[in-house]
A and B are shown apart, each in its own frame.
Chain A
């Protein structure tokens, strides 16, 4: 008797779990986010300027701004975001399992992640490359002088694969010290447990900016890889993928067309530029095509401004991180940012 009751309970629980799981995937991510009233966005465990909680526990940063823009576009509320900190190793599982709706975590768009891991990269929000940082006192001026060095690397990243390739193709050896998070890497590096810290150049700049004495550390001139970083979603939910992709494009287009957080309120009514009107929903029905309100993009800009404002406010030259636009300038300024047109 006891046994059969137990088995029955087990079976019912199993069936219920199965339905819950099946249910979770049959309706689209957009509907789930709207039902929930908040967006689950995967970010780093903490990287100054990109994603880190401020003194009040509010997440802020360049990647965080993308999450907020998507939440504003979908829910009309830039604060309706649950931030889920992920490490290099947990981020893809978190996304694939549905724990997060999108991932904005300095993640490089690669063939195998796109095709084999079945994710969909919705664009590039930062064109980056891998670099090396060493203490100035080592007197190293080129990455080619690093033979025999001990190198701190985050596991589960493209960084560790590039590092292996770079050292073997230059016939050099190194001792890897595997670490889980940037904070741990920073601590190990400063404690001298490794001679070199390597990651995306943007991450190096952000990490170095938080050091007590940033000038005691140099970033070597070599950039050994291409790291196009962008937000990504699960493969197969194209409506949701479109929303994230076009929110990012909207941020980029807004900068190109001069729509800012300051003028987003009135420019839609006053401008003579039809693309701005389409973008802001005062003309046409682009929002409805995405399944969103007409002012979806306007909401996204109101959250943190256009791409340029987000960049300058979080990682630009006026911030301690001090990254120049470089490749991440608009195509009209000689950079690579080039959004498809809104029509």
Chain B
């Protein structure tokens, strides 16, 4: 039974929406929401009327029409008879390719440079500072253009490889040609049984992980260390190599050969891809280096000292004590570097790399006049890719983050 009488229940008054702290924030939010919605609606409406005034509408039908133009780098089947949607997809694949390659190399470069910048060796540390400052402080576009100019101007033309005493020759046992149009490397020819070979390779790959897990369990239980690296290396090569010869060499290499105007056969890594890839990796790598350095410095010095006191060598200290803790600090900002890299890849246009911006956001738009639709789609594409990257990286981040109880 209540000892206090309930306060008299007042009836609700409209003024309470503003003066009563219980309702105020809701009121403000509702009003803001309505205003923003009205603003968006008004802008959209404005857009549609202005477009209509010029006899234009918003229509995505152009995506199903024949594109009519050719694209040099295609990861999926495409010809000028394909649709604009297909051309956009080719561009998207090219964007993803360079973003993927770029993220991997930028991470390797960045982590290495970040660690080396802390090196006690004066020259190495200074060199890394020069690299980091040079790349961080000069616009990416310039780096892309410089690297493109270097790879284009320094390499010989395909025609220089021709003739008895040719000016240029292929390298690595005549398997790779470095030209001013790109680097031609051998491509694999998948013969019969090559599926089996791949399966064997994948199984031995899984085997490496199984072995490592067993080794760790053994170490935790008994303290005995196993030769993880050597066994891993052996597992990586030996079963596949044996199978390769038993199966009668199912995979052969298709070497590039000079024919007509160009090298044919093999895979062509175009200069545009190489320049963009290198520039993105070095540029983003410089930022990642700083993040890694900051992450390492964030780990308490006592940790390093403690591990030296336990007799661990500096390399093991770095790998087993410092880096795992630094990762918690490093990963969130690295996610945004990956996002930056992916979005920066749209500078591809400067060297004629056919990414999504160049196909959907470039040629398709100017051939169909659908600027608005094309740019909307392009925006949605970059948004989705960015969200996926952050999603995946967040999962990883959660797995290394300090488990709080």
Q: List residues of A whose CB falls within 8 A of some B CB.
A: 3-4, 7, 10-11, 14, 18, 21-22, 25, 88-90, 92-93, 96, 112-113, 116-118, 138, 146-150, 155-156, 160-161, 163-165, 167-168, 174-180, 188, 191-195, 234-236
Contacts and interface: CB of A to CB of B under 8 A. Distances in A.
Nearest to A3: B32
8 contacts: A116-B369, A138-B261, A148-B260, A160-B70, A175-B72, A178-B72, A178-B352, A192-B159
A93 B39 contact: no
Query: Considering the complex of A and B, which 3 residue pairs feature the smallest CB-CB distances, nearest first?
Result: A156-B366, A117-B369, A164-B80
Given A14-B42, A177-B72, A161 B367 contact: yes
A124 to B, nearest CB: 21
B366 A88 contact: yes
Contacts of A18: 42, 46
B55 A161 contact: no
Nearest to A234: B54
Interface in B253-301: 259-262, 264, 271
A142 B366 CA distance: 30
A161 B69 contact: yes
Contacts of A21: 46, 50
Contact of A236 (B55, B152, B262, B358): B55
Given A21-B46, A148-B259, A179 B352 contact: yes
Contacts of B317: none
A112 to B, nearest CB: 8
A89 B70 contact: no
Contacts, number: 122
B285 to A, nearest CB: 27
A146 B362 CA distance: 27
B362 A192 contact: no
Interface string B218-261: 00000000000000000000000000000000000000000111
A167 B81 CA distance: 12
Given A164-B80, A175-B262, A118 B55 contact: yes
Given A18-B46, A88-B366, A7 B32 contact: yes
B381 to A, nearest CB: 18
Nearest to A96: B54
Given A18-B46, A89-B363, A25 B53 contact: yes
Interface in B54-70: 54-56, 68-70
Contacts of A168: 79-81
A114 B53 CA distance: 16
A120 to B, nearest CB: 11
Contact of A176 (B55, B72, B369): B72
A25 B180 contact: no
A14 B43 contact: yes
Given A90-B366, A164-B70, A192-B180, 10 more contacts: A11-B35, A118-B369, A148-B262, A150-B181, A156-B363, A161-B367, A178-B72, A191-B180, A192-B159, A193-B271
B28 interface: yes
